[in-house]
Chain A
Amino acid sequence: MKTLSAQADTRNVSVTPDPSKKRKKGFWRTVVRQKYLYMMSLPFVIWLFVFNYLPIWGWTMAFQNYKPSKPFFDQKWVGFKNFVDLFQDERFYLVLRNTLAMSVMGLIAGFIIPIAFAIFLNELRGKYFKRTVQTVSYLPHFVSWVVVAGIITKMLSRDGGIVNELLLALHIIDEPIQFMAQGKWFWGIVTVSDVWKETGWNAIIYLAAIAGIDGELYEAAKVDGAGRFRQMWNITLPGIRTTIAVLLIMSIGHLIGIGFEKQFQLSNSLVTDYSEVLDMYALNYGINIGRFSYGTAISMFTSVVSIILLLTANGIMKKTTKESIM
């Protein structure tokens, strides 16, 4: 399996003109000859530079006492003061705890459940039923978090929410639970909502990988008397190992930068001590009250930790399973 960025380098190169001939012509002559290719790509390179790379230059703000009215060279440089402030703020540790808790829960659930779903769906008899389940399962992926949060709030509502009604009918609880108003439920609600929304979609990749496994392996296993669980464990799982490894590295890279759409939409003023994540903290303490340098320090912390996590995960995977994304 090759990941996206690596694909270009592994294609056959038979179409390339003789390289020695090309080099003689010189750099600029090639530029002129490939002017249309440059015209079709350079605008977008500039585009990428502006919208994706300039914000990284913006990290300089974290080391300044940034005032939007002044030009860059008139800004006051303050060294690591913003980071010292950040690491001394108690709120920061609360927010970090929330971020890590929800991302680890999301990583575990959002990782295991789609794999299990794909494997069991693959075992399902009946072509039409299988297709129906699959089609329906990725429907929630296409609905916005605004809508999903509305639906979840409705389902968990204290008066008339289906979850409370079911729990009451089964005599598991005696009176309805106020799910949305109690902080202790928040992490779980976010995780379950995410599983509900994304399981089917995330399973697509695994299903494609499973479809690529040689059917004869299953026949041979059956002849040897292997049961269905044995086959799943010994053939299907090893067959999609590469896919699992690559996706795991990617999700570890996103561990701290989990985004905040779901937290933002599902939270309310009663549960902020459990719902606030790093990006929301940056939004509230950086943009909304105009402490741009402080906010930048938060954003920079998030990005740098993400990259470190990604590289670490990539390195460990490379050593242990020989799979990597770079």
Chain B
Amino acid sequence: MATSKAFNATKADKIFDICNMVIMAMILIVTLYPFLNVLAISLNDSTDTVRGGIYIWPREFTWENYKTIFSYTGLIQGFKISILRTLTGTILGLISSSMLAYTLSRQDFQSRKFISTFLALTMYVSGGLVPTYMLMRHLELIGTFWIYVLPGIVSAFNVFVIRSFIDGLPYALQESATLDGANDFTIYYKIILPLCKPVLATIALFLAVGQWNSWFDTYLYNGNKPHLTTLQFELMKILQSTNQGANMINANDMANQMAQVSPESIKMAITIVVTLPILFVYPFLQRYFVSGMTLGAVKA
């Protein structure tokens, strides 16, 4: 559409463009401001923050808040578990979904249709919260690290995204490999996997973000296991204690709550620490996930 701009820009068109620019700029600000605000508060002296009026720039710059939170052992512990589950979950998820996707991409595979349907149904039907909880109890996964990783290893969405990517690869490559005597596993490992790098990057990002951000499994299954809590869960505990403090109406309780409430700046510093890894990889990986989303959801 930009090509016609030069000779076809009417007055109404110009007004429309300007309004559109203004609206989009406002959306930009509304999206970014909260993050900048949190960052500014986290870098501001914690007693000074109480005065209010910090917007996107710290008034009394300090690293103290970050030093304080890193002396808190629960946070270091949470960091370790979060990194561990992100790595394990991503690697296992990649292996399983790519393998399954390859077998489903093979038109001659005998059970392809059955497995496809079996897998697709899981996207629409689920047992629900309580039966899943009971299953985990029976499998004795509660109170272990593996409960973070094992249940989500095969995800229908990820498998189908990878499969549509494999479908787009030329089949001749596999054929010639078969003629050279390669078995199906060798084809998967030596030919398909290297070619799938872009889509695997996308899926890796989805898996890693999901693992890093999840908190509910920690809350439900491992909330009373201090050595297994994750970073999100630690953040949640700190934020929630403060929320309740702020909402207490009873004055006696108020004083009680205030004693254990973390100062605003400390809370914001933890928020930044929890969010930073994602903000850090985000610009590098964003072209991958856009293509992955499109690949998975729309086949025009």
Give residues in A with beta carbon < 8 Å to B: 1-2, 4-5, 7-9, 11, 13, 15-17, 22, 27, 30-31, 34, 36-41, 44-45, 47-48, 50-59, 61, 68, 117, 120-121, 123-126, 129, 132-133, 135-140, 142-147, 149-151, 153-155, 157-160, 162, 178, 180-181, 196, 200-201, 204-205, 208-209, 212, 215, 218-219, 222, 227-229, 243, 253, 257, 261, 264-265, 268-270, 279, 282-283, 286-287, 292, 295-296, 298-300, 302-303, 306-307, 310
Contact = CB atoms under 8 A, between A and B. Distances in A.
B260 interface: no
Nearest to A27: B110
Contact of A51 (B37, B135, B137, B183): B135
A251 to B, nearest CB: 13
Contact of B129 (A13, A138, A299): A299
Contact of B278 (A11, A143, A201, A215): A143
B293 A204 contact: yes
A200 B129 CA distance: 29
A109 to B, nearest CB: 15
Contacts, number: 299
Given A146-B236, A159-B52, A295-B129, A307 B124 contact: yes
Label chain B's interface by main secondary structure.
Answer: helix
B160 interface: yes
Label chain A's interface by main secondary structure.
Answer: helix
Contact of A40 (B99, B116, B171): B99
Nearest to A209: B298
A125 B35 CA distance: 26
A117 B20 CA distance: 10
Interface stretch (B2-10, B57-65, B69-77, B195-203): B2-10
B24 A283 contact: no
Contacts of B160: 4-5, 7
B244 A40 contact: no
Given A13-B107, A181-B247, A228-B16, A286 B117 contact: no
Given A51-B151, A162-B37, 12 more contacts: A31-B110, A40-B103, A40-B184, A120-B24, A124-B21, A133-B27, A137-B27, A143-B213, A180-B246, A205-B297, A222-B8, A287-B133
B130 A36 contact: no
Contacts of A144: 212-215, 232, 274
B28 A268 contact: no
Contacts of B220: 283, 287
5 contacts: A8-B116, A53-B122, A120-B24, A123-B20, A150-B235
B125 A303 contact: yes
Contact of B112 (A8, A27, A142, A145): A8
Nearest to A227: B12
Contacts of B157: 4
